[in-house]
Chains A and B, each alone.
Chain A
Amino acid sequence: MKVILEKVAKPEEEGAHIRAVELTEEVRNAVDLLENNCRSISVSRVGEEKSPGESYMLGTNRIYYTESIDKRTYVYTKEECFETRYRLYELEDILGVNFLRVSKSLVVNMRKIRSVKTELNGRMTAELLNGEKIVISRSYVKDLKRKLGV
């Protein structure tokens, strides 16, 4: 797709005009990114993945964490659970800098962590903003520290 970038003087003059033959996922992602300052991924409600037309675009800023269970990937928001066709390693790339793998099967949105607590066994427990608790494996604590710059 050809992209034209034009400099303007004032923030009010900023805008984007997308011309596309079809509203593909990539185009929708671009729109989301421009409108909401975040990306979106295609998800379906749990148990509905195979029925066509039932997928939703979920903004990454709504995602608390994603988890892989029995080769299926689930996406959790504050109160809901969705399923996505993406694998966890793909989501690591798609979701952006605020997301971090904290165990073999879980990627968390660091912006949704209220606090972390050390356990005697060397693991950490993270309490999320919705009160849920997830485990940060010992081997991933180093990644968390590196990403946070501590």
Chain B
Amino acid sequence: MKQIKLIFSQTLMISTAILFGLGIQAFWNAMFHGDARIVWEWYVPFTIIFTGFLCSVPSLIFLEEGETKKSAFPVKIVLHFLVLLGVVSLCGRLFGWYSTWEAYLWILLMYVVIYFFVWAATFWLMKKDENKINKALEELRDEE
């Protein structure tokens, strides 16, 4: 159940991030190329959700808590980053999100920005929790 919840929330988060990225791309095109319209095939929204789902599965495998050593974590992150990049590239190719190298570079840039943004946001939220917990512990703590 916990894993289904994780996949569901990750799918939502990644799909939203892809939409956000596409929004920025459309904004850029509207500002600098005068092209203010987005034209999608009927299946594109579904492909975004499907890609979100596929990207959530590696998260489950790589980032699941286990008895891994602290030093193994950077290796896991790099692998996670590369596997997700592979999934996004493959889905983009299959679903026709890009047809030129320039468009692929856009997808790559978007992926990198979204990946690091999600990590930064997650870490910031965890730091907020840390501060709240430390404040609450102050009131509970025994005298040394």
- Where the two chains meet, the residues of A that have a C-beta atom closer than 8 Å to any C-beta of B are 61, 98, 110-124, 129, 137-139, 141, 144-145, 148-150
Contact = CB atoms under 8 A, between A and B. Distances in A.
23 contacts: A61-B142, A98-B140, A110-B137, A111-B142, A113-B141, A116-B130, A116-B133, A117-B130, A118-B126, A120-B73, A120-B123, A124-B130, A124-B133, A129-B144, A137-B65, A138-B65, A141-B129, A144-B133, A148-B133, A150-B129, A150-B132, A150-B133, A150-B135
B51 to A, nearest CB: 24
Contacts of A115: 134, 137
Contacts of A141: 129
A122 B134 contact: no
Nearest first, the 9 A-B pairs at minimum CB distance are A148-B136, A150-B132, A118-B126, A111-B142, A118-B130, A121-B73, A150-B136, A138-B65, A116-B133
Interface residues of B, number: 21
B130 A123 contact: no
A139 B3 CA distance: 12
B93 interface: no
Interface in B100-131: 122-123, 126-127, 129-130
B37 interface: no
Q: Majority SS of interface residues in chain B?
A: helix
B70 interface: yes
A112 B137 CA distance: 9
A7 to B, nearest CB: 31
Given A121-B73, A139-B65, A145 B140 contact: no
A110 B134 CA distance: 11
Contact of A121 (B70, B132, B141): B70
Given A139-B2, A145-B129, A148-B132, 13 more contacts: A61-B142, A112-B141, A114-B137, A116-B137, A118-B123, A118-B127, A122-B65, A122-B122, A123-B65, A129-B144, A137-B65, A139-B65, A150-B129
